Structure 1
Amino acid sequence: MKIKAKELRPTEQGRSPKLLEIETRPGYYKWWAKKSELNDLLKGLGETFSNVKDDIEKEDDLYCIYVGIARTSLRQRLNWHVNDKHTKKRVENGFLSTLRKSLSSVIAKDQYDKDKTNDFIDKLVVEFFYTGYKTKSEESTKKLLSIEKNLIGKKLRILNIMENNHPKAARIKKRLQELRKEAKK
């Protein structure tokens, strides 16, 4: 199921009804961007669309930029990515999600810039998939890690660092790691 990230934000009445519809079960997810947002990311990473267009997973007008897993709860994991408090203390202590760290580093050039990060996240779409594995079981962890590794291996995921061995990923990963280091200062 695909949903606009913005729809997972709390409403004036409280929590997001769309977020509450997501079950608290293990699973995996993909983050998607329109071409304009993909180009913003690629520019920040020193890459061009023409060089990677055939390597990135595409569905309709969306491009997959990141994949991840939720070992316990898809709802909690997606909530963390979208609605993290993103405070100075959370940045300093390394409590931002990998996705948030990367987006704030590439887009805002500053991991402390919550507003620019949230504005960009709101332009993205997330797709999630439930698995039948038991929460926190050893089998579940192994299977989910295998799913994640397989997804990362199939196509170029420009914001995934670990297990990203795509031939065009080396330069992108290096630049992303540099940006993340610079943006935390």
Structure 2
Amino acid sequence: MRFFTMFFLLLIGATSISLGQTLRPGKGVGELTLGMTIDDVTWILGFEGKRISYDDYLTASVQSNPKSLPETKIDFDYCLDYVFIMTLPVEKIFMKDDKVVMIQLSSFPDYNKILCEDIETDNGVRFFEDASVLDQHFKKGTAGPSALHSNLSNIFYYNEGIAFGLEKDKIRAMYIFDPQ
């Protein structure tokens, strides 16, 4: 009985870590912030993630003209690909000179949906909301092409340090980077 009680308390504690996290454009989300080192990221997320070079990322992301991808305006050397993180829906961390320059959060795959429900920007934009709310909170964005294996269309707000991935006009991904 003591084991089950302890397990339940640990489960509640782990769940509460992911609830109510604020995404701050141009800064970070929760304890994960821009400018961190790989060691900092590993400490927070629990492991380093799969390393993908700049060229491999672009080749895998866009069928034609990889340089047209909006992420290329965020200068990076490589990214770290994450799956199965149970406290934060991080999909990728983009690195330049071994420092975080962009954080990508995603509501894909399905287990990330629950993690995304309680994440919102510091001005109240949430995952799964209709894209029309973006006009109420941000200046005109820059549309970008969809990635090769994705139905997402991207809208980048370069001056504010945030971007959104949309599927059927619903927010399904968020990107944080230094304002450009």
| TM-score for the superposition, normalised by structure 1 | 0.30
More strand per residue: 2
| TM-score for the superposition, normalised by structure 2 | 0.30
More helix per residue: 1
